[in-house]
Structure 1
Amino acid sequence: MLLPNSKRILLKLSGEVLMGEQQFGINQETVAELAREVKAAKDTGLEICLVIGGGNIFRGMAGAAKGMDRAQADYMGMLATVMNALAMQNALENLGVHTRVQSAIQMDAVCEPVIRRRAERHMEKGRIVIFAAGVGAPYFTTDSGAALRAAEMQCGALLKGTSVDGVYDSDPKKNPDAKRFDTVTYDKVLADNLKVMDASAVALCRDNEIPIVVFSIREKGNLARVLAGEGVQTIVQGNK
């Protein structure tokens, strides 16, 4: 196990990953494959909670950039994360994995409100908890929501599954000579603006000593490899 003290982890998935090869929306086959990866991780004995972004449906900052009120756009983005959470819940339940969706915006007809103690009991009983709607307030990203929930749930690590295989010193899509870090400190990520997560999320993880593990979720089986300490990833942590 990569992080031996991590009985409980939070997995943050970008909404774009759920698109698969589509340009937008939810690809059911991709979601089903992600659910299988999450189930395999749970079967190792881990307690898992999930946070999924909403960028495949609506991104608040993009809406604001086009003239929409930022707060209104962010609320729309939060609702997109609830849709993604319900899609993932359906895929996991189809595999026989019991799940609960907890939303920071109350909508009792489709999911529970975020209640920390209840979420802890769910995980102790072997259920996967999917946290939706970010922190329930505008001007915060789902990265901040993931860091907040990881701290609340006392997770041993925050795993961020994205489209890239770690943290680079520059954008690998624009610079073919970009160098990937095996490990990097929170302070360097913040000082060099390395775009791992937004600054408030990184600072929250730093203050609570929660390692951030960045890896590519698009590569089949990579979550299991990362958890076993074998996959390609970058670990963001404090000075050793």
Structure 2
Amino acid sequence: MSLEALRPTPLVEQAAERLREQITEGRWPVGTKLPGETSLAKALGVGRSTVREALRALAGAGLVRARQGAGVFVVATGPREDLADQLRRAAVTDVYEVRMLLEVEAAQLAARRRTEEDVAAVRAALDRRRAAADGDNAGFVDADIALHAAVVDAAHNPVLTRLFTEFAPLLRQGLIDLLDLLRLRSDDPNHGDDSHAALVDAVVRGDAEEAGRVLREELERTLARLHAV
């Protein structure tokens, strides 16, 4: 094993990076059992506690895994990607298909679970969307996404809210590009107002079936336009 002694600080970060290099450069292939903490500490010129923390960092990145009583093994040669990284590389149509699955369910839950505060929030978001019709496409899309976010929030499921938050940045640019390319607001600055008003009405009335139906049809129309571009 060829490992140089480390500089004094920051030791854990340096140790993790040096060990990561051994893995990503193929010196320790997948399935390899890493040397023990004592051996790694001696090679790196640090204490065992530093090595232990570095290995935890590599485990968090999905590169290694500890097996009870057996040691630490390499399980991947590249860091595990989080959802945000995957979404940044995904096609907007693929993200939109997942958005449909997520939001239709969220709208149905919102209709069942909405509180008075949620009702006020979705109504206010619809008003802001209408007000944004006088502005540019970016502002209109921001108001549109904010309305959808208010509906998702009304579902009172933090996982759904987190997922929508992850989707929103990619959706935003895709929708702006779509409006710019197809000039959908040229004749109708408040494009989609009827369907969004119907969605808000269904959520406010507590009609879960109607909320899901209205939103599904709206999202399917937009997805069809995205596929056609």
Q: Give the TM-score category using the shorter length.
A: under 0.3
Normalised TM-score (structure 2):
0.26
Kindly indicate which of the two structures has a greater share of residues assigned to helix.
Answer: 2
TM-score (norm 1): 0.25
- Whose Rg is larger? 2
